[in-house]
Amino acid sequence: MAKKQSFTDKMSKKKGSGAAHCPVCDEILTPVRVREFATEGGRRRQVTRMVKLCKCNSSEIYG
């Protein structure tokens, strides 16, 4: 999962300007904010992370 994400990241960086497309499904990658929990010093904290969303990972993110 992590490998796939970094691969997508690399490809979108390469293209540079304009909307990034997913190299797998060729959909435009939509940046979305996902909330998740991070543990910091024994305390659970909610953090927001930006994720580029397309067909490939939409089910992963939205469950």
Of residues 32-61, which lie at the interface with Zn ion (CB under 5 A)? 54-56
Q: Which contiguous run of DSSP H or E holds residue 36?
A: strand 30-40
- With a CB cutoff of 8 Å and minimum separation 6, the contacts of 52 are 8, 9, 12, 20, 29, 30, 31, 32
Q: Does 20 bind Zn ion (CB under 5 A)?
A: no
Out of 11, 24, 32, 51, name the contact with Zn ion by CB under 5 A: 24
Out of 7, 9, 15, 25, name the contact with Zn ion by CB under 5 A: 25
Residues that bind Zn ion (CB under 5 A): 22, 24-25, 54-56
